[in-house]
Structure 1
Amino acid sequence: MTSTSDSSQPLVSVIIASYNHAPYIEASILSVLQQNYPNIELLVVDDGSRDDSVARIEALQKIHGFDFRVQANKGLSRTLNETIERARGELIAPFGSDDVMLPERIARQVAYMADKPEVGICAGDIQTIDADGNPSGEPRGLPQRRLDFGDVFLGRKPGAPAPTLLFRREALERVGSFEPEVRLEDLMIELKITHAGYFIDVLGETLALYRVHGSNTYKNYRFMVDNVLKTYARFSEHPAYPEVCARFRNSMLLKCARTDRELAWAMLREIPPRFWRWKTLRGLLRMLHGRG
Structure 2
Amino acid sequence: MFETPGASPATTLDIMLPYYGDVSLMQAAVHSILAQSDPNWRLTVVDDGKEPDVPGWFASLGDPRVSYQRNEQNLGVTGNYRKCLGLVREEHFVMMGTDDIMLPEYVATMRALIAQHPGIGMIQPGVQVIDGDGKPTDGLVDQSKRLLYTPKVRGQRLMGGEELAVSLLRGNWLYFPAMCWRTDAVRKAGLRDNLEVTQDLALEIDLVQAGEQMLACDTVCFQYRRHAVSISSQQAFTGKRFAEANRFFMEVADRLDAQGWTKAAKASRLHLSSRIHALTMVPGALKNKQSEGTRTLLRHVAGSDQR
In structure 2, the partner of 1:127 is 128
Taking the TM superposition and a 5 Å limit, the aligned residue runs for 1:8-47 are 11-47=12-48
**Is 1:206 aligned with 2:224?**
no
**Is 1:259 aligned with 2:284?**
yes
**Is 1:172 aligned with 2:172?**
no
> SS in structure 2 opposite 1:68?
strand
Taking the TM superposition and a 5 Å limit, the aligned residue runs for 1:241-280 are 241-248=265-272, 249-260=274-285, 261-271=294-304
Partner Cα distance (2:267, 2:177) in 1: 28
Give the number of the structure with larger relative contact order, counting CA–CA contacts within 8 Å between residues 6 or more apart.
2
Summarize deviations over 1:47-80 as a string: whole Å, max 9, x none: 135xx3x524531332234211112221222222
**Is 1:59 aligned with 2:57?**
yes
Q: 1:252–1:267: 8 Å Cα contact kept in structure 2?
A: no
1:210 is displaced (CA, Å) by 1.2
Q: 1:3–1:39: 8 Å Cα contact kept in structure 2?
A: no
**Is 1:183 aligned with 2:181?**
no
In structure 2, the partner of 1:287 is none
In structure 2, the partner of 1:286 is none
Taking the TM superposition and a 5 Å limit, the aligned residue runs for 1:89-108 are 89-108=90-109
Partner Cα distance (1:146, 1:98) in 2: 29
User: Aligned match of 1:148 in 143, 150, 160?
Assistant: 160
Structure 2 spans left out of the alignment, 5+ residues: 257-261, 286-293
What is the identity, as a one-letter code, of the residue corresponding to 2:279?
A: L
Partner Cα distance (2:136, 2:129) in 1: 6
> SS in structure 1 opposite 2:112?
helix
In structure 1, the partner of 2:288 is none
1:103 is displaced (CA, Å) by 1.0
1:223 is displaced (CA, Å) by 4.2
- The change in CA–CA distance for 1:40 and 1:227 in structure 2 (over 3 A counts) is farther
What is the identity, as a one-letter code, of the residue corresponding to 1:154?
A: V
Partner Cα distance (1:180, 1:35) in 2: 34
Structure 1 spans left out of the alignment, 5+ residues: 274-292
**Is 1:48 aligned with 2:49?**
yes
- What TM-score do the two structures reach when normalised by structure 1? 0.79
1:217 is displaced (CA, Å) by 4.5
What is the identity, as a one-letter code, of the residue corresponding to 1:70?
A: R
Q: 1:31–1:102: 8 Å Cα contact kept in structure 2?
A: yes
- The change in CA–CA distance for 1:32 and 1:223 in structure 2 (over 3 A counts) is farther
1:19 is displaced (CA, Å) by 1.1
1:168 is displaced (CA, Å) by 0.7
Q: 1:250–1:271: 8 Å Cα contact kept in structure 2?
A: no
Over 6 Å off, 4+ runs: none
CA RMSD of aligned residues (A): 2.9
The structure that is helix-richer by fraction is 2
